[in-house]
Structures are given as structure tokens and as C-alpha cells.
Amino acid sequence: MSKKFFGTDGIRGRVGDDLINPDFFLKLGSSVGNTLRTSDRRPLVVLGKDTRNSGYMLESALEAGFSAVGVDVALLGPIPTPAVAYMTRTMRGDMGVVISASHNPFDDNGVKFFDAEANKLGDEMEQLIERQLNTPLSSISASNLGHVFRVDDARGRYIEFCKGTVDSRIRFDGLKVVLDCANGATYAVAPPVYRELGADVTTISADPDGSNINENCGSMHPEHLCEKVLEMNADVGIALDGDGDRVIMVGSEGEIVDGDELLYVIALSMQLRSRFSGGVVGTEMSNGGLQQAFEDIGIPFERAKVGDRHVVELMRDKGWILGGESSGHIVGLDWSTTGDGIVSSLQVLVAMIMQNRSLSDLTSGMTKIPQEMINVTVKDPGTVVAHPDVIKSIRDVEGRLGKDGRVLVRPSGTEPLLRVMVEGKNSTDARLYAERIVSVALAAVNTEIGISRSQ
């Protein structure tokens, strides 16, 4: 059964559109609540959000929808997505809900869901919720309405959790860190985590005003962090995204280190500490150089569909504990059930400290294959992917590349984007072939709203 509302990671869109508005979120809260109410016990939903102004509006609507059908709501306020997953488990919640559009621009917002075990919802649960959305909105009696309360110490609890993922014998004394909080949900929790572990921390983009989240900062725009690392003569830079489930890092020479490279560093560090077994899960977007690097050190590697939910599902199927995406979603089942930018970066800092090596040195065992990634903004990327001319163009490029490259063209599950990725023997070929596919795609739909190349 296809889904009408849910995408790769929950529901997301432009504020004020058919989905991201108070009416829909009121109905969504009621529908999710009715799905949870399978017994006489009153369910508990743990609800957090990022720093967008629209989050307050949507929070009120969701809260009302939950309460109207007899669901209790614990309000965490602005807090990272992985913190909601953590609090859902520790509070014995029936569901965790995050109002966020993650790395998307300020104009967007959305909602993500975790089950009672803090896993992203599966297709079956999402379909149940969508069926409930077709039923009339209703309210139970006043005496049975859900109770809503605030959890005042949620940030402090999550800070302690993050610190607890680092061995108590390890300190980051003398480590100069520049931290970019993307003016998002990590602004109040990330700085104390690194400082209390001993690092010398300089923060940037840690002053949210409700509209500057992800704006020329964070993991989507690490160029300013690169400049600051060089200016401060820092050892490392850490760029989180708006809701804190992604991380991109910067080495001491100002070089960007993406999720593939961080995944390699963490896996190798865990292997050296005898804390690693099995293999690593990446995605279709993971650079071919990552797969080769793991082959070189004897670590099995498998690819899942894009999206940390799919990564975790394959990890569980294989019985493995580590996986991630090029974008910086990294999941270690030893510490979390979802991508956690703060905790993932801590594992990299541990590797630097324990091996007494720079970030650049730690990534030296992985050589990326030339890759070109172009994002094209179109109204209906799913239709574009299925267009016969686009399919023919993809097959033509694959034929020309042969065994020397890969092609992946897919619609984004979180934005109105067509993502075109080509790997080749050299950067020139990768760029030319990617541009050829983009050109055919734009001709097929006869429209162009915008084009951007990923970092």
C-alpha cells in the first residue's frame, strides 16, 4: 500500500501548505493517538521540537489532538531529535514525536515519529496512521482527556547521556574544538557536552532566533566552520544540523570530513578497541571508496536504501551495530537507535585522543572515488525519475561507465528534489555524466527551479 503523507523520514513540507498547518496537525495528533489507544491504559507521547518559530504553532495543534483522544503528552521543548528518542525510552513512552524539518530551510517544517523502543516507525504503523486520518475528528469526555506536562530537566538528562557514551577515563583536555550548532536544537546541549569532557570549545551559530536555523551554517554549509577552524588554529570542527541527528566534521587544515569518512574512523577505532563485530551498513549513496576501505581492513559492508530507518533495519537484520549515511547520519546501536550528531562526533574525538592522531590522519586509509552529486528542484521528482528519456539517459551513462562507476538517480524523500549521483574514474567524467542526466531530466519536465551541488 502506497503512502500519501509519509516520506523517507516522517512528514515534511512547506509551512502553510496542505500538510504543515494547524488543521492537519490537530487531525494528525488525534489520528496517532487513536492508533496508540489499543487498551485501557492511557498512552504517553514524548514531544520535542527544533528552534523554528512554526514549531510552537504545530506543537499546540499536535498537543490538542493527542489530548482530545486521551493521550498524555510530555513536552520537552526545543531539543535534538536523538534526545527525544532517548527520553522516549527512559520515560517509558509509547511514542516519541519530533516537530522538525531537520536540515531543511526555515520555511519548512515536519514531524518525525519513534515507537516505544525509539525506532523509526515502520511502513505498517505509518499506514495505520494514514487510515486514521480518513476518519472524522472527535474528542472524548473532559474527564478522560489526556494530561499535558513539561519536562524541565530534559536537556540535562540528555547531556548526561551523551557524556556517558565516552569512557570515564577519557578526557578531551587540550583539544581545541569549533562547534557549529546550526542555530538549531543542539544550541543549549552540545556546548556543555564537549566542555564538561574537557575540550576548549568555541561556538558559532548557537544563537537561534526562530528563523535562522540551518541558514548558511551547520552540516549543510560547513564552509564557515572551515574558516573558523583555520582562524582559531583548532584541532577539529564539528557541524551539526538543525535537529542534531547529523554531523559533518572539519580537520585542522580546514578540510571537510563527511559521514562516509566519519563512519570509517569510528569503525576502525571500535575494531582497534575490540568493540566491533560483524560489518557496517551504508546506503546507495555511500562513496565506493568507503566500501573499498572496509574491504582492505576486512570489515564487511552492505548498502541499504537511503534513510537512517532503512540503515537501522538492515543493521538489525544482519546483527550488526554500526551504520550510517554520507550526509552524517551515523547510528551505533551500542549507544542509540537513531542518528545522533553529538554522540557520533564524540566517538571520533575518542579515536583522535586514544590514537593521538589528527582527523586527517585517521581518514587517510580511505580514498574517495570521484563522485558528483547534483540536486535539482522540481515539482514532482518521482515523475521525473520514471520518465522514459531519463531512464534511457541513466542506462546510457551506466553503459559508458561500465565497472568503473555507479549511477543513482532518485527523488528525495524529504524535499522536492531530484538527486543525481554519478561516480566515475575521474571527477571530469563524473561531472559530465551527471550534468548529462540532469539536462535530460530538465528537458523531460520542461522546468527548472534550481540546481545545487552537494558538498
Residue 443 pLDDT: 87
pLDDT(454) > 70: no
Q: Where are the alpha helices (DSSP H) in 6-80?
A: 22-36, 54-68
Question: So what's the pLDDT on residue 1?
Answer: 56
pLDDT band per the 50, 70, 90 thresholds, residue 274: confident
The amino acid present at 384, given as its one-letter code, is V
Q: Where on the phi/psi map is residue 401: left (φ > 0), alpha (ψ -120 to 50), or beta?
A: alpha
Query: Which of the four pLDDT bands, split at 50, 70 and 90, describes residue 446?
Result: low
Q: Which of 326, 324, 348, 344 is nearest to 335 (CA)?
A: 344
**Which CATH superfamily does the domain covering 157-362 fall into?**
Alpha-D-Glucose-1,6-Bisphosphate, subunit A, domain 3 (3.40.120.10)
| Active-site entry in 30, 102, 269, 345 | 102
pLDDT(455) > 60: no
CATH 3.40.50.720 fits 11-151, yes or no: no
Contact 418, 376 (CB under 8 A): yes
Q: Residues 318-327: pLDDT tens digits?
A: 999 999 999 9
102 catalytic per annotation: yes
Q: Annotate 291-334 with DSSP letters as a single string.
A: HHHHHHTT--EEEE-SSHHHHHHHHHHHT--EEE-TTS-EEETT
CATH 3.40.50.1370 describes domain 371-453:
no
11-151 and 157-362, same CATH topology: yes
Q: Which three cell numbers stand for residue 7?
A: 516520506
CA dihedral for 163, 165, 168, 173, sign (positive or negative): negative
- Note the pLDDT of residue 379: 81
pTM for the predicted model, two decimal places: 0.92
Give the Cα separation of 260 and 245 in Å (integer): 15
Task: Show me where the domains of the chain are located.
Answer: 11-151, 157-362, 371-453
- Average pLDDT over the chain reads 94
Nearest CA-CA partner of 176 in 250, 114, 229, 244: 229
Query: What's the one-letter identity of residue 366?
Result: M
Do residues 165 and 347 touch, judged by C-beta distance below 8 A? Answer: yes
Residue whose cell numbers read 502506497: 2
The span from the CA of 162 to the CA of 185, in Å, is: 15
Exposure on the CB side of residue 127, measured as CA atoms within 13 A: 6
pLDDT at res. 453: 56
Give the DSSP per-residue string, 350-374: HHHHHHT--HHHHTTT--PPPEEEE
State the Rg of the chain over Cα. 22
Q: Looking at residue 328, what is its pLDDT? A: 96
Residues 6+ apart with CB under 8 A from 329: 245, 246, 259, 308, 311, 339
Residues 6+ apart with CB under 8 A from 257: 248, 249, 250, 251, 359, 363
Q: Write down the pLDDT at residue 448.
A: 46
Higher pLDDT, 41 or 129: 129
Residue-wise pLDDT for 141-165, tens only, equals 999 999 999 999 999 999 999 999 9
Q: Is the pLDDT of residue 38 over 80?
A: no
Q: Residue 98 and residue 85: Cα distance in Å, rounded?
A: 9
Q: How far is CA 87 from CA 97, 98, 167, 411, in A?
A: 11, 12, 22, 32
